[in-house]
Amino acid sequence: MNRKEAADFAGSVGLGAWVAFGLLAMIVIGRSGAPLAPDDAVLTWSLHHRPAEVEALARGVSATGTGVIPYALVVLAALFVGHTARQRLAAAVLALACLAAGQALRFGVMMLVQRPRPPHADWAAHASGWAFPSGHSATAALAAGLVILAVRIRAPRGKNPLTGVVAVWGIAVGLTRTTLAVHWGTDVLGGWLFAIGWAGLCLCAASWWLPERFIPSVAHTSSESVEGHAPQDPGR
């Protein structure tokens, strides 16, 4: 996939996610933040399937979706994806900027929508601020997307298992927010859509405008490298 194809794909996915997010946000605003029917169903199910062990696990997983951990993950991914010091520095700066700006934009949307959280009596963890879109869900999904991008670009082997592990983490963080009853289900869905839309926009912009020298090439296995170059044995 060349730069134009990457930009077109990222832009299309991001635009689709933004449209879906906008529609969901308008529904939430139109109902003055009141839960939708699926929200009530998810909350009821969570409250009846939340033994102490599940609560403890959910709190642990949820804690990885905020604070320093998402930033540390995207920095490690940036250092991994670059071939040169220049590429690593550029990747780290861009990844951190994408994550930080995404969090700031999400916070602005949250303050605009001002959706109340589920009843405080049902909470199994501390939470603050308004509900929509879920901050933990958006941050973890955005960080997971950036890490997955690095894996798909640079990992010489094992891309699919690594992608799966990171994707499961990003999704699991969002699911814990409904398990702990600190978010409605549509808050989490909104966080995921927001993250996809913002990641698509950032990737599209980077594909269009980032100078070629800052873009790492896709890794190949050793066998692929040998086949893609002139024979090493002159007699072949």
φ and ψ at 66, to 5 degrees? -145, 175
φ and ψ at 120, to 5 degrees? -60, -30
Tokens of 85: 């010091």
Please provide the DSSP assignment of 76-131 as one string: HHHHHH-SSHHHHHHHHHHHHHHHHHHHHHHHHHHHHH-PPPSPGGG-SS---S--
Q: What is the pTM of this model?
A: 0.87
- Furthest-apart CA atoms within the chain: distance in Å: 78
State the pLDDT at residue 25.
97
Please list, in sequence order, all residues whose beta carbon lies within 8 angstroms of the beta carbon of residue 112, skipping any fewer than 6 positions away: none
Angle at 83 between CA 208 and CA 67, to 5 degrees: 75
pLDDT tens digit string along 110-168? 999 999 999 999 999 999 999 999 999 999 999 999 999 988 887 777 789 999 999 99
pLDDT tens digit string along 152-166? 887 777 789 999 999
Task: Calculate the dihedral angle through the C-alpha atoms of 220, 12, 208, 79, rounding to the nearest 10 degrees.
Answer: -40
